[in-house]
Amino acid sequence: LAELPLFVALGAVSGFVAFAFGHMAKLSRSAFAGNLGGRRFRSLMASVPPNARPALGGLTCGVIGVAFPQVLFFGHETVNALLGNTPLP
């Protein structure tokens, strides 16, 4: 019974994260459609053919994966590092 407030807080945080994830998905969809961003970004996205946009998204994910390799795999080593408050591998 003492843990109940912690679970309520966990539920609230999880709800916020889910809302933020959905909102960011809508923003990225708008950005790739050319409806979001500055004038230069909109003209850049308008010049990219629609068939090449998934490749651009894959390239972006690859660059993020190279910069932060721990996001590619969610193994025991990463979980242990997060729980142990040690640097990520």
At 49-85, the pLDDT tens digits run: 988 988 988 998 899 988 887 777 766 777 777 778 7
Give the confidence band of 89 by pLDDT, cuts at 50, 70, 90.
low
pLDDT at residue number 7: 94
The DSSP line for 11-70 is HHHHHHHHHHHHHHHHHHHHHHHT-SS-HHHHHHHHHS-GGGHHHHHHHHHHHHHHH-GG
- What length is written for the chain? 89
Distance, CA of 75 to chain centre: 18
Instruction: Check if the beta carbon of residue 27 is closer than 8 Å to that of residue 36.
Output: yes
Is the pTM higher than 0.75? The answer reads no
Buried b (16+ CB within 10 A) or exposed e, 10-40: eeeeeeeeeeeeeeeeeeeeeebebeeeeee
